[in-house]
Structure 1
Amino acid sequence: MLQARISSPPEASTHGVESTLDQSLSSAIGLIGRQYPVMIITLLVCFGLIGTYLLVAPKRYTGTAVLMIDSRKMQGLQTQSQPGTDNPIDSAMVDSQVEVLKSETIASAVIRDLRLLDSPEFMSAGGGVLAGLSQLFADLFPEQKPSDLELMRNAIWQIQNGLTIKRVGLSYVIEIAYQSTSPDLAARIANAIAENYITDSLESKYQASRRAAVWLQDRLKELRAQASAAERSVADYKAKNNIVDAGGRLLTEQQLAEINSGLTEARSKRAEAEAKLQRITAILNADESDSKVILNDLATVNDSMANPVINKLRQTYLDYAARAADWANRYGQTHLAVVNLRNQMREIRHSILDELRRTAEAYKSDLEIAKTREEAGQKSLNDTIAVSNDTSQAQIVLRDLESNAQSARALSDNFLQLYMVSVQQQSFPITEARVITQASELSSPKTSPKTILVLLAGIVGGGMIASLVAISLEMLDRVFRTVQQVERLLQTNCLASIPAIELPAEARPKGSLRFVTRWRLSSKKEGRGGSPMQRFDLPVEPKLPGTGEIEPKSPEERSLKSNDSVGRYSINAPFSRFAESLRSIKLATDLSNFGTPRKVVGITSALPNEGKSTVSEALAQTTAQSGLRTLLVDGDLRNPSLTHRLAGSANAGLIEVVFGKADLKDVLWIDPQTNLHFLPCVATSRFSNSSDLLASPQMEKFFQHLREQYDRVILDLSPLAPVIDVRATGSLADSYILVIEWANSKIDVIERVLKETPLVSERMLGATLNKVNLAAMSRYDSNSGGYYRNQYYKRYGYVD
């Protein structure tokens, strides 16, 4: 077992102060890099509090709008002069308009337009926190509710009290200023006073224009009725004769084009189906004994090559043919193995021909469907041509009706245009007053509070709070994130940091596989009203090579189908960081064999879902690929996830072999690429005494037998925290590897389970960090951040 590396404090030197400063700076930079989202959120919260204070603090704003009284007429927009527009505007008239702006009529219109009676901001006494407290006490001690007339009088008084209207010098310019606790409200009220003044002057002109438009409106109604009647006649005639157009073309014409196109496609498909049927019929009529002709012709049929059954049979046939030729050269044509291979090749040819016959039947069905579609398309084409001829005759009358409808609609539209022009000329919004400066929120000055000083204080305070929050979260982050943490806290080697990998969507497992067994566990009820608890009736001696009681599966059925699993990633991607990490673990297991034999390596974790089964499979594949005789054993009797994933159809495994229900050679599953042997674990129900089976003498003797047959045995065990099964494997495993999920496994949990399981602590070969985000890990390990950079690995051909 490798010696545990324990970090020691740095030796004192003359550069101790500089080293401390460098470490502090690196730690600060690393903390910011890890906790910057939280720090940003904290700063945003502080800024939000500052903004809230700035919003609720009482402020006074002044909105100013500028109005101009102009006597010039807009000749381009008005054809007739209005009475009194030629009279010059004197000084007295401007002063009179100032008083009009201060009148209750304008104030009442502003209150109605802006709905100020429903605005708590306008109706409050002075705004800010004090106004809110006053409103709270008023709600707690309500008085008699004032009437609508009193509310309106108070609102008018409040507007007139905050309103300042003055003439600018001797000009025709009037300045409208309003003070409020809200810049938006101040600007809106100032603008509303100017707009309502202009609206009041336009109201009289609008009333006069309405009387002039009555006759034109009545005549327009008559013309619209005539146009609608003509258009209704067109619509009725189309409905009666089934004339439908879409996009400027008759529906029958579009249907004719579509049916013709569909008929052409149906004929093409029919011809294609006939060609396919003829080709596959020719292959079936060939001499069955001529295997070369059948296989060569089979390669020319695209659908047969897309058939997975034929592809598999053809590949198997080619493999057998190559093997038969090789054996014939070595042992002669009459050797029994060569004869058996030729018999199997003949059976495969018959299977290929049977599959081709089923494909031919499918081609016949496709041909019949194509012919039926062609006949239906031809019939639809003939029917559509007949309907199109009838529609062409009805279009002659339809054109006359459409011409009449268009004429009536054009006359109605022309009269409507004349009506609109007349209304615009008589009621065009022309007044002597116009707004030359709009009041806005940005142009409303503010006197308090001092926004810049408050923001500066908020930035400084927010930065300090954000730093405290980041430090607190860093102290509360009790999970494993770096190699140094693992070695320092667990006093063991960190064998590797296995990166998280993302498989393609089509390669991910599609659910748990169903697994069955041919024998049941005996049960008995324990306790009062308790549920049945499962137990094992262990035999006196395990029947390792004896006659089993379960029908074994064939070698082809016991071939591992794990090419796209995560555990196979180290084989499928040998130049990846994932594969390099597994080779590091494999090297550690090799070095641990020096001195004492440590063939059985147990893989466990503190909690489920930390990836121990995946690491077990990947380590076993890596070890097997190196040439060692390797056996992967699913020793998680409570939840055999490896069996579900790698051998879901297994009907016997570890338990059956120990019980003497099956032979070891009949239940082993073999990876054809790496020659990895896998011993599954099959169970049909939960049982409580799995630890008794693991600690039994029969199990110990069975594993001693495995040590003699294999160079390395990888034992996938259950987690340490939920169950106690790992404590019962002292006589089975020579050493243990602890799998820790990066950024998820709690330090306190792992320390507790290792303290409760001294067997694992004493024999621990090392730990490994699993599902590591290397980019994020570099932020937590500031001293070794460059170690995780991928560009160094690219120089040696390694990629992620």
Structure 2
Amino acid sequence: MLQTKITSREIESTAAEAPSLEQTISSALALVSRQYPVIIFTLLLCICLAGVYVFTAPKRYTGTAILMIDSRKMQGLQTQAQTTGTDNPIDSAMVDSQVELLKSEAIASKVIKDLKLVESSEFMSDGAGVLSTISNTISGLFSESKPPTQEQLLRGALARFANGLSIKRVGVSYVIEISFQALSQEQAAQIANAVADDYIVDSLESKYQASRRAAVWLQDRLKELRSQASTAERTVADFKAKNNIIDAGGRLLTEQQLAEINTSLTTARSQRAEAQAKLERITAILNADNEDSKVILNDLATVSETMANPVITKLRQTYLEYAAKQADWSNRYGSAHLAVVNLRNQMREIRRSIIDELRRTAEVYKSDLEIAKSREESSQKSLNDTIAVSNNTGQAQIILRDLESNAQSARALSDNFLQLYMVSVQQQSFPITEARVITQAASNLPNKTSPKTTLILLAAFVGGSILAGIVAVLLDMMDRVFRTASQVEQFVHTSCLASIPAIEQGAVNATSTQPSKAAWRFGKRGKPTPQQAPPGYGGPGAMLPLQGSAPGSSQPRPHRDRLLSTEESVGRYVINAPFSRFAEGFRSIKLASDLANYGSASNKVLGITSALPNEGKSTISEALAQTLAQSGCRTLLIDGDIRNPSLTARLTPAAQVGLIHVVVGQADWKDVVWIDPQTTLHFLPCAVTSRFSNSSDLLASQQMEHLFQQLRQHYDRIVLDLSPLAPVVDVRATGGLANSYILVIEWAKSKVDIVERVLSETPIVRDRLLGTVLNKVNVSVMSRYDTYGGAYYRNRYYKRYGYVD
């Protein structure tokens, strides 16, 4: 039960770590164990409410009709629809739209009107359920007693209809499921089928009305479009006549003329270029001053081949023959021979004849060239004139194209509307709808759907469990009291020295009448019995010699009237039941105090206080002092709660003088000390005959410090029972008296906020705090709050060592 001291840094580091899965599960189980009464109550309450609803709710039946949105129509109308494009293909959005149409008030109103549901008492009633009865009663308290109007009845019927109707699409198909809940099977099936039928009728009527309105509008619009088309075509004809635009074979006349003139111009240019080339060649030959016969002949050959002149060709052949003879005769007879000279003269005449012929041909070519140029200029002029006319026609052609386009559009729109008009007229005669009923609701099937007992009870169990968990968590969060030692260490930032269990007064009385049993049990384990106690142990009636004084000189003088009688005190239980958990807790406090005093001779005074009254600090002070005295220490217990000396009233109710009288010098402390004859515990009471207002001044006085200096010289340990921290300020004045403090916290009663506040307001206690004691602990309940140390508080481990509660 000894608790180790934990520093604030270790606590903060532990709190910063994320809890593991095991810790989370343990925390959840601990929460259930702490709050299981609330959890069970909440869960049972939810299940009971669900059971009441199941047994009192009226039975409802569901009728289901299945509708299919089918795009297949009669083949003839389908062909027209595809041709005219008046029907859109069915898609997912369209099916969802039909679902919303089935839920509309238009369909609901038709069904209510057709079936006369407003006059049906079965439809207009809510059944005999408890919830409906309570709802009607409450609404009747706040509503007037006037009879409802027809409109109010219709709105009420529509609301009931909407509550009972359920429309949903089956998966991603074109199938729609129509369900209706009613108090009877027949009415549920009847309404479900009526919804499907009225939907189909409404679809047909809407298509008929739409077709009829479309036909009327199309007819009026068709007249306007025909008039516009005729006007546009007439405008085109007038514009053509005004601008002399004539079509010939699909082309304008100016375009044909322009093409012909362009061809003629191309031919003239080609002829002029050819004549000019010939003339330039002949002119070049004639202008050449070349007497070489071979060069002339070669040039003549080129010209002859080009012009194909028979005269020049014949002269050239003769010239070539003479030239051959002249070459042959010159080789035979020599170049000066008369025959050779004659041939040479003849050849000269022939060449002169050729040149004359070339000049005559050149004149002919010159004349052809002039003619070709005249023809080209004429064609060019005609082309320019035609182009000018064509440009003017082109400007008009732009306007003409716009007029023709408008006319064509008007005519096409008129034809289009004519086709639409014909289709709308046909649809008026043959209305069709895409929806058809594939399954009608049956009225003879056992289809009770409400209330669903299993589902409701399961939902109540799950919801009750969740609600119970939430309530448990909220209550646990609002439980801002100390229940475990780990909570004390977390919020107070110091170690919890012990957890002292609550002791009933009956247990105290029982142990006080059987001291021999406890002594025998203690002796059975080989320990010295009270009768065999060695010197200084503190047996019955023994007096401990005071340190630094001779016997009979400076020790308190015992008197038979100043002997403590603590048999009926709870603090005495630590002596009467030394093997109890209660006594083990005080041995844990004593050990912590001894360790704190180790190596310090001046740390003798231990102040015991609490945040609020009635937390058991006086009992803790007495029991701790008895434990210290039993161990052989010279121990003095002082009642320092001057405002409310409850310890004095319990231990020495007959005391007339005490601490106050000693401090003011009216008595010697040795003469007012009371002694426990069994443990030799010395007790300095605080006898107060009237209300004391300046108790803090008395505790902080020099006389009080001088008294404690004397007491430190005569006692090994001094236990000082102080006032609570919150109501009075006396503890703040004990800084010169107490060396360390122990804060008593009542289990499941002391508020965390109060303890934190009083410690922050009392720094002297906070800085010298040895530890805390968790008092009045219900061990069986505390084991449910400690997540990790639940087994620590179980009794079976103590029984193995002979301990009892």
TM-score by length of 2: 0.46
Rg (Cα) greater in structure? 2
Q: Which has the larger share of helix?
A: 2
TM-score by length of 1: 0.46
